[in-house]
Amino acid sequence: MNAVPESEAPTGSLSDQELAGLDGWWRAANYLSVGQIYLMGNPLLHEPLRPEHVKPRLLGHWGTTPGLNFIYAHLNRAITARDLNMMYVMGPGHGGPGPVAAAWLEGTYSEVYPDITQDEDGMKRLFTQFSFPGGIPSHVAPETPGSIHEGGELGYSLSHAYGAAFDNPDLIVAAVVGDGEAETGPLAASWHSTKFVDPRRDGAVLPILHLNGYKIANPTVLDRIDREELDELLRGFGHTPILVEGTEPEYMHQAFAAALDRSLDEIAEIQRRARRDGHTERPRWPMIVLRSPKGWTGPKEVDGLEVEGSWRAHQVPFTNARDDGHRKILEQWLRSYRPEELFDTSGAPAAHIRDLHPLGTRRMSANPHANGGPLIRDLTMPDFRNYAVPVEVPGTGNVESTRILGTFLRDVMRENMSTFRMFAPDETNSNRLGAVLEVTDRTWNARTQPDDDHLAPDGRVMEILSEHTCQGWLEGYLLTGRHGVFSCYEAFIHIVDSMFNQHTKWLRTTNGIVWRRPIPSLNYLLTSHVWRQDHNGFSHQDPGFIDHVVNKKADVIRVYLPPDANTLLSVADHCLRSRQYVNVIVAGKQPQLQYLDMAAAITHCTKGIGIWDWASTDSGVEPDVVLGCAGDVPTMETLAAVQILLEWFPDLRIRVVNVVDLMRLQDHREHPHGLMEADFDALFTVDRPVIFAYHGYPWLIHRLTYRRTNHHNFHVRGYKEEGTTTTPFDMCVLNQIDRFDLAMDVIDRVPRLHRISAHPREHLKNKLIEHRQYIRTHGEDMPEITHWQWAPAAPPAGGGPGPVSTAEQ
Amino acid sequence: MNAVPESEAPTGSLSDQELAGLDGWWRAANYLSVGQIYLMGNPLLHEPLRPEHVKPRLLGHWGTTPGLNFIYAHLNRAITARDLNMMYVMGPGHGGPGPVAAAWLEGTYSEVYPDITQDEDGMKRLFTQFSFPGGIPSHVAPETPGSIHEGGELGYSLSHAYGAAFDNPDLIVAAVVGDGEAETGPLAASWHSTKFVDPRRDGAVLPILHLNGYKIANPTVLDRIDREELDELLRGFGHTPILVEGTEPEYMHQAFAAALDRSLDEIAEIQRRARRDGHTERPRWPMIVLRSPKGWTGPKEVDGLEVEGSWRAHQVPFTNARDDGHRKILEQWLRSYRPEELFDTSGAPAAHIRDLHPLGTRRMSANPHANGGPLIRDLTMPDFRNYAVPVEVPGTGNVESTRILGTFLRDVMRENMSTFRMFAPDETNSNRLGAVLEVTDRTWNARTQPDDDHLAPDGRVMEILSEHTCQGWLEGYLLTGRHGVFSCYEAFIHIVDSMFNQHTKWLRTTNGIVWRRPIPSLNYLLTSHVWRQDHNGFSHQDPGFIDHVVNKKADVIRVYLPPDANTLLSVADHCLRSRQYVNVIVAGKQPQLQYLDMAAAITHCTKGIGIWDWASTDSGVEPDVVLGCAGDVPTMETLAAVQILLEWFPDLRIRVVNVVDLMRLQDHREHPHGLMEADFDALFTVDRPVIFAYHGYPWLIHRLTYRRTNHHNFHVRGYKEEGTTTTPFDMCVLNQIDRFDLAMDVIDRVPRLHRISAHPREHLKNKLIEHRQYIRTHGEDMPEITHWQWAPAAPPAGGGPGPVSTAEQ
């Protein structure tokens, strides 16, 4: 690594004035950071600190903050010198006081929060509100101007930074990677983003690995491996690292400024060669390694124990700050920044400090990309109706619904070649969305071979076998105002459960922040779902992401289960146009029956739930039984059960209710999509048995409907964690959601069938036995299952069941 | 990297006989693998292939399998030559046919599955059962002898391998890392396990990075970066890589054998120096990079398209194998392995093939460590009663419960210094479990500094800031028959949601496999929980892991919410002794009230749920209201609500039911811990209002109790996703689980209070307003909240409420 030993101070590219300016700005930011953590009065130390000036509960993280401020100061110098369009992503986002201090110094804070003025009163409020009831969180949060990255859960800084840089050719995203964060899997994977960025089309990410040395209690791995080893590691990730290491501010300012200048020169040169000369070899992007003491500039020692440079500096370095001894240390610490030089008598930043930050939208705290909402360009949307599958008879055909969706997404892509991307862990083709490759390629900036399939540096289909990286890229892309879809095997979307949590929490919080504008929704397409893991078996069977999703606030989550291609198109169109949600779409990729023509699909999706008259026999009067269904496979099995039942009981009054928008089931007080009570009762009755076949874990339907009048009559079938490598129909049988079990459920629950159902019931039981025997011999489902189509008028199969009147006998 | 160009064939350390043997065994394993994917008849090709010999549905993954078999053959040679104790972990676990073939060749398969004999009939059954209904899964699965790693979800091979190697000094774990898997975050993080393995005490992991070139449709990143870049990357992870690259079997056998010998020599030397000379410098462990064609030895081309060496070889290389053209390709492919040389006329492996594998437990398919159950040494358990907190009056005191647990775990550690470890992402101390550092250190084999706290290569507290790596290590440790605890911030355990899924699926499946014996339970201690994220706020607040857990099969999951230190001790003791479960314990780390002395705690935990008589006023008669509670903070708020209510309504008949074992709430038909209906009704009545204060998302309680008689009277309070950085009590208020809201809930739901409750209700509302005003001024909770203790007989606070008779007026 290109390290300069501290003893050989760099000749100094910074003038004395520049150096003084940088250091002054840094001291100001540090002063304001310590003030936020500790003070609720006397912000400018106009008098000696008294106990009541100190907050009673001290909450915050000091350790990483001076490093974040140091980098901020230097980035500001470079922005001004080079007129850069730069964003700042802080992996160690728990260092919340830092960017808040910076935004206040830059004036942005007072612009978005007018009560936090740039004067003594405002500074007092700035200090008091931090980690204080009714105030702001302790982390870099949605409330922090200039940030798209919370950082409470570590690991996503680099993938967020790349997401922001994609399709923003003029943007440079400086991304601080904490050395704690660097131990996480998601961060470790995201270094390889270097193979997915195009220097011609995309902006640049400048990673700054901050070797702060310690986590909460442990040293960090990257700080304690050999310097050569770290250098090899970072080169192995595709970077050219530059090391800046030391403790003395003057030396460090000179060294970091030189490293930053060199990095920015290299970035400019890489981009110039790519854009002017069409140079296509993958560049080795520069990055900086900054090794500085944890809690830098804080107290060296408290109560005889080392603090600066130690894990003890991680949170609040000392906590009894209302007591005389510690209060004196606090005051000395604050005064060491010489606030009287930094702020004028009113409490505003002194003129020479104000002069140091860039202006307007060049301020990182006011960079437009960090508040993506106002930047959004609506997608140019082709008319999804043009992709409709013709459906002359419901319940027929044999179409891969996601393949149809692929043609629609292809044209969405074609119309939005700088604002829309698709993300998947190597599954776009497997998920039948390959049509999109007719208009773009997979993003790939590493070596290629002749047999490779649709790889190019400027591809817009982003595939890496890391769900974490896909999610992080997409989040960064959305948060900066662009659009995208993440398609994933259903079971493995759980890999990003926690990232989903953080993103929905971000959305939820921004709903309450007036200056944050809504951003495009995060759209999941979960295919290769639980019912069709033919190749893979039990490990690939888990429909629980929906359960995870509905734990989050109703105002930011939506769940859709379109049963066929036209409903999938309608739902996808709706989701792509929406804002500020996480949309989960679950749809199978295997050939399947089609039910609704486009007009019917639009009507059905608009309502989100509805009676399928063509499959019902209740003729508008009170039914004997309601068959509810949600999801493509449960819908097919439900219809097959209807057909079986009607063969036996032609005058049975069945009502089929299909659910596309799962949240329609919930109480309208719990979710904005929830049905009013009367509407729910009109669909599901108040007293008839309901057999509900659901795509996922059955108890979710109970949870969503437990307040409903007729809930005690709900009998739900779904995935109950029974599975292995077997046939598609056998998966249904194992979980008792198959047509025969559903038909038996109806027989068992409709009183007027009880006396006449012994024979049909036995017949159905025998069908299940026959199925089991058949598949164990033949290895595939019976043709009557595989080729089943909806044909309710068909006569009973030869030797099969005969009609039984349900009239009283 | 030490790569040998293929043109310069190595001089050849293998004799011709060794070479022929290796190649023969490899061909046999490949033949058996292809047979499993394709055939259901004519297994030895005694006649030309007919359509009915071919399975109707072809399901499996060929691409990675020949590589897995190649390595297996070579490891066998080394095991025999060196008498090694070796396990085989296959990251590309979707290559299921490979290890099944190997186990059959080694005889193990017929030992554990006597119907799969080593003859033609057995071979036919072996082929047919693969990915066939009623047969075995397509992946390396619990059903596969010799495996502890499913591999369906990629990313955990290395962490599993290290987990197996810890405390097994004689074991070498060969771990194949797929180049697809290598893109995942969890795998990327786990390379740094090199800093957490002690060459004196632990076994060795030999990673074999298999550059197979392609994923499902894309090339892999590590296959397409420069050779030097890859070499730097792996050295940066702390390894000395040796590259073996090529396509010609003879060359590759020689090259791989040489690389393996060199690696094993280096491992032996590292261990010798460490164990004999006490050499403590962190070794640079050897590893092998194997670059070979995907689908190696398979058809070069099908229908004019490249297959071997291409992504088309990933699953089944061609699928219409019942048709004449493809069937001919299949037959040629199978015959290319020359089965007549490999199997005798009975269908058993020929004698010269049999001679090639190691014997008895040296066979990797029979290595005892791969079936940890029989190896278990029970923990030597100190008597948890000795750590009891004295509780003279319930609801008093101020104890950090996890700190008490720490003293118990310290002594568990002391007594089990080679079979017990603790895992945490840098949080052992933060979670108040630091007492364990009195008897051991944190595992750390990288550079140390004087101020470091309890770091040593032979430490037994494993901390890396990667929940994935912690979980993977622990799983590997448990699967090989040892014991452990994973302590984690509650919100961030979601990071391993998907790993939890895979582990519980493994446990669940092994419950049905007679030769797999139960392994020690995976114990989670979730502390730093949702209610006490004082430093961190919203991003750290998520109690949903419990919801995720209870989606899995009831026979493998348990959830405990001990409200104080003595119940925590009792629960922890129970969990550490248990087998074959995932136990989730949620317990706070902050100072809290204590309720039960040890005798009462044991009784309470044994029942898992019970009436707290000392807090109840129903005197065994029918109560007016039942207050249920689960979790430490909800329990405290519930008791405080009782006290408030009794101050106003001294003759109100309140029953307090505390739940430790959450699954007691569920129907006994759904969970083995579920209460019988009568028992549930005896606790919660059949008609009285129940106000239930629950630690997590409130709907889980509805889900668990929806079948209960009195469910419609359940009113549940819990976390409803409201939070930020605020005071502990304010978190309760935001989510309406605080004492005042709970008391108002009671007032609103007990009919006989309605007419007399206007004044008390207004008083409680005012208390909430007072609280809000107080914290916004003072920044901390009111002293009456912070210092509240249970004292039901105390007179009402001055100026506070006065008693109101609930008798009819």
Look at strands B461-463 and B483-489 and give their pairing. unpaired
Q: Contact B188/A183, CB-based, under 8 Å?
A: no
pLDDT, tens digit, 9 for 90 and up, residues A283-317:
999 999 999 999 999 999 999 999 999 889 999 99
What DSSP line would sit under B12-59, residue for residue? -SS-HHHHHHHHHHHHHHHHHHHHHHHBSS-TT-SS---GGGB-SS--
pLDDT, tens digit, 9 for 90 and up, residues B423-440:
999 889 889 999 999 999
B236 chain-A contacts, CB cut-off 8 A: 225, 229-236
Q: Mean per-residue pLDDT for B203-229? A: 95
Element (H, E) at A526: strand A522-527
- Taking the C-alpha atoms of residue A788 and residue A797, their distance in angstroms, rounded to an integer, is 12
A136 chain-B contacts, CB cut-off 8 A: 725
pLDDT, tens digit, 9 for 90 and up, residues A207-233:
999 999 998 889 999 999 999 999 999
How many interface pairs between A and B have CB atoms less than 8 angstroms apart?
Answer: 363
Residue of A nearest to B219 (CA): A452
B-contacting residues of A 157-216, CB under 8 Å?
A: 180-181, 183-192, 195, 215-216
Q: Contact B219/A449, CB-based, under 8 Å?
A: yes
Put simply, whether B497 touches A (Cβ < 8 Å) is: yes
Element (H, E) at A205: strand A204-211
**pLDDT for A217:** 85
Check pLDDT > 80 for residue B9. no
- Taking the C-alpha atoms of residue A232 and residue B231, their distance in angstroms, rounded to an integer, is 8
DSSP A674: P
Element (H, E) at A243: strand A239-245
**pLDDT for B1:** 56
8 Å CB contact between B51 and B330:
no
Q: Contact B702/A697, CB-based, under 8 Å?
A: no
A538 chain-B contacts, CB cut-off 8 A: 137, 141, 152, 505, 509
**Could you give the C-alpha distances from B116 to A536, B95, B112, B122, in angstroms and in order?**
22, 20, 9, 4
Q: Contact A57/B780, CB-based, under 8 Å?
A: yes
Check pLDDT > 50 for residue A8. no
Tell me the shortest Cα–Cα distance from B192 to chain A, in angstroms.
Answer: 8
Find residue A714's DSSP bridge partners. Answer: A690
Going by pLDDT thresholds of 50, 70 and 90, the confidence category of residue A410 is very high
Q: Contact B536/A220, CB-based, under 8 Å?
A: no
Instruction: Give the strand order in the sheet containing A171-178.
Output: A85-90, A171-178, A204-211, A285-291, A239-245
**pLDDT for B11:** 54
Q: Contact B538/A137, CB-based, under 8 Å?
A: yes
Residues B255-274: b if buried by 16+ CB within 10 A, e if exposed? bbbbbbbbbbebbeebbebb
Look at strands A690-694 and A654-659 and give their pairing. unpaired
**pLDDT for B2:** 52
Residue with tokens 């047969």: B135
Q: Contact B453/A189, CB-based, under 8 Å?
A: no
- pTM metric for this prediction: 0.96
For chain A, what percent of residues have pLDDT higher than 70?
Answer: 96
Going by pLDDT thresholds of 50, 70 and 90, the confidence category of residue B8 is very low
**Could you give the C-alpha distances from B528 to B203, B353, B535, B550, B576, in angstroms and in order?**
34, 57, 10, 21, 21
Q: Contact B465/A60, CB-based, under 8 Å?
A: no
Find residue A520's DSSP bridge partners. Answer: A579
Sorted by sequence, the CB contacts under 8 Å of residue A38 that are 6+ apart come out as A54, A55, A58, A127, A316, A321, A330, A334
8 Å CB contact between A342 and A349:
yes
Tell me the shortest Cα–Cα distance from A782 to chain B, in angstroms.
Answer: 12
**pLDDT for A230:** 98
pLDDT, tens digit, 9 for 90 and up, residues A660-695:
999 999 999 989 999 999 999 999 999 999 999 999
Average pLDDT value over all residues in chain A: 94
Check pLDDT > 50 for residue B795. no
Q: Contact B134/A776, CB-based, under 8 Å?
A: yes
Q: Contact A428/B463, CB-based, under 8 Å?
A: no
The partner residue sitting opposite A495, judged by closest CB among B55, B498, B552, is B498
As given in the structure block, the two tokens for residue B20 are 């022929």
- Taking the C-alpha atoms of residue A193 and residue A469, their distance in angstroms, rounded to an integer, is 8
- Taking the C-alpha atoms of residue B328 and residue B326, their distance in angstroms, rounded to an integer, is 5
Which residue out of B431, B462, B496, B536 would a mutagenesis test of the A interface target, given it has the greatest number of A Cβ atoms within 10 Å? B536
Residue of A nearest to B214 (CA): A452
Residue of A nearest to B238 (CA): A229
A426 chain-B contacts, CB cut-off 8 A: 180, 215-218
Tell me the shortest Cα–Cα distance from B345 to chain A, in angstroms.
Answer: 27
B495 chain-A contacts, CB cut-off 8 A: 153, 497-498
**pLDDT for A537:** 85
Q: Mean per-residue pLDDT for B773-780? A: 94
Average pLDDT value over all residues in chain B: 94
pLDDT, tens digit, 9 for 90 and up, residues A564-580:
999 999 999 999 999 99
**pLDDT for A809:** 35
8 Å CB contact between B327 and B51:
yes
As given in the structure block, the two tokens for residue B318 are 């061609």
Sorted by sequence, the CB contacts under 8 Å of residue A171 that are 6+ apart come out as A85, A86, A87, A164, A165, A203, A204, A369
As given in the structure block, the two tokens for residue A573 are 């169109």
Tell me the shortest Cα–Cα distance from B535 to chain A, in angstroms.
Answer: 5
Residue of A nearest to B194 (CA): A221
The partner residue sitting opposite A188, judged by closest CB among B188, B535, B776, is B188
DSSP B6: T
Going by pLDDT thresholds of 50, 70 and 90, the confidence category of residue A775 is very high
pLDDT, tens digit, 9 for 90 and up, residues A49-77:
999 999 999 999 999 999 999 999 999 99
pLDDT, tens digit, 9 for 90 and up, residues A244-273:
999 999 999 999 999 999 999 999 999 999
DSSP A535: T
Q: Contact B186/A185, CB-based, under 8 Å?
A: yes
A-contacting residues of B 263-322, CB under 8 Å?
A: 306, 309-311, 315
B40 chain-A contacts, CB cut-off 8 A: 779
pLDDT, tens digit, 9 for 90 and up, residues B731-774:
999 999 999 999 999 999 999 898 887 889 999 999 999 999 99
Going by pLDDT thresholds of 50, 70 and 90, the confidence category of residue A795 is very low
Share of chain B residues as helix, strand and coil, in percent rounded to the nearest 5: 45, 15, 40
What is the 3-state secondary structure of B309-360? CCHHHCCCCCCCCCCHHHHHHHHHHHHCCCHHHHECCCCCECHHHHCCCCCH
**pLDDT for A620:** 76
Please, what are the domains in chain B? 16-368 (3.40.50.970), 384-593 (3.40.50.970), 612-786 (3.40.50.920)
**With the C-alpha atoms ordered B530, B532, B536, B538, is the resulting torsion angle positive or negative?**
positive
B-contacting residues of A 548-587, CB under 8 Å?
A: 548, 551-553
- Taking the C-alpha atoms of residue B89 and residue B142, their distance in angstroms, rounded to an integer, is 13
CB-based burial label for A599 (10 Å; 0-12, 13-18, 19+): exposed
Q: Contact A502/B539, CB-based, under 8 Å?
A: yes
Q: How far is CA A152 from the centre of its chain?
A: 14
Check pLDDT > 60 for residue B809. no
Q: Contact B539/A187, CB-based, under 8 Å?
A: no
Residue of B nearest to A58 (CA): B535
Residues B392-424: b if buried by 16+ CB within 10 A, e if exposed? eebbebebbbbbbbbbbbbbbbeebeebbbbbb
Q: How far is CA B558 from the centre of its chain?
A: 14
The partner residue sitting opposite B133, judged by closest CB among A40, A538, A730, is A730
Q: Mean per-residue pLDDT for B695-701? A: 96
Going by pLDDT thresholds of 50, 70 and 90, the confidence category of residue B5 is very low
Put simply, whether A721 touches B (Cβ < 8 Å) is: yes
**pLDDT for A151:** 84
A180 chain-B contacts, CB cut-off 8 A: 426, 465
- Taking the C-alpha atoms of residue A106 and residue A29, their distance in angstroms, rounded to an integer, is 10
pLDDT, tens digit, 9 for 90 and up, residues A639-659:
999 999 999 999 999 999 999
B509 chain-A contacts, CB cut-off 8 A: 538
Put simply, whether A542 touches B (Cβ < 8 Å) is: yes
Tell me the shortest Cα–Cα distance from A547 to chain B, in angstroms.
Answer: 8
Largest CA distance in chain B: 105
The partner residue sitting opposite B40, judged by closest CB among A428, A711, A779, is A779
A190 chain-B contacts, CB cut-off 8 A: 185
- Taking the C-alpha atoms of residue B219 and residue A555, their distance in angstroms, rounded to an integer, is 40
Tell me the shortest Cα–Cα distance from A286 to chain B, in angstroms.
Answer: 15
**pLDDT for B536:** 83
Q: Mean per-residue pLDDT for B332-338? A: 98
- Taking the C-alpha atoms of residue B436 and residue B431, their distance in angstroms, rounded to an integer, is 12
8 Å CB contact between B556 and B482:
no
Residues A657-687: b if buried by 16+ CB within 10 A, e if exposed? bbbbbbbbbbbeeebebbbeeeebeebbbee
**Could you give the C-alpha distances from A644 to A394, A652, A742, in angstroms and in order?**
17, 11, 10
pLDDT, tens digit, 9 for 90 and up, residues B587-623:
999 999 999 999 999 999 999 999 999 999 998 789 9
**pLDDT for B12:** 67
Put simply, whether B539 touches A (Cβ < 8 Å) is: yes
Name the more confident of A24 and A619: A24
Tell me the shortest Cα–Cα distance from A696 to chain B, in angstroms.
Answer: 10
Tell me the shortest Cα–Cα distance from B569 to chain A, in angstroms.
Answer: 25
Check pLDDT > 90 for residue B800. no
Q: Contact A447/B235, CB-based, under 8 Å?
A: no
The partner residue sitting opposite A534, judged by closest CB among B59, B61, B725, is B59
- Taking the C-alpha atoms of residue B375 and residue B372, their distance in angstroms, rounded to an integer, is 5
pLDDT, tens digit, 9 for 90 and up, residues A132-150:
999 999 999 999 999 999 9
pLDDT, tens digit, 9 for 90 and up, residues A184-213:
999 999 999 999 999 999 999 999 999 999
Residues composing chain B: 809
Put simply, whether B724 touches A (Cβ < 8 Å) is: yes
Find residue A301's DSSP bridge partners. Answer: A306
Tell me the shortest Cα–Cα distance from A549 to chain B, in angstroms.
Answer: 10
A465 chain-B contacts, CB cut-off 8 A: 154, 180-181, 183-184, 215, 220
- Taking the C-alpha atoms of residue A478 and residue A420, their distance in angstroms, rounded to an integer, is 10
Residue with tokens 């088309």: B312
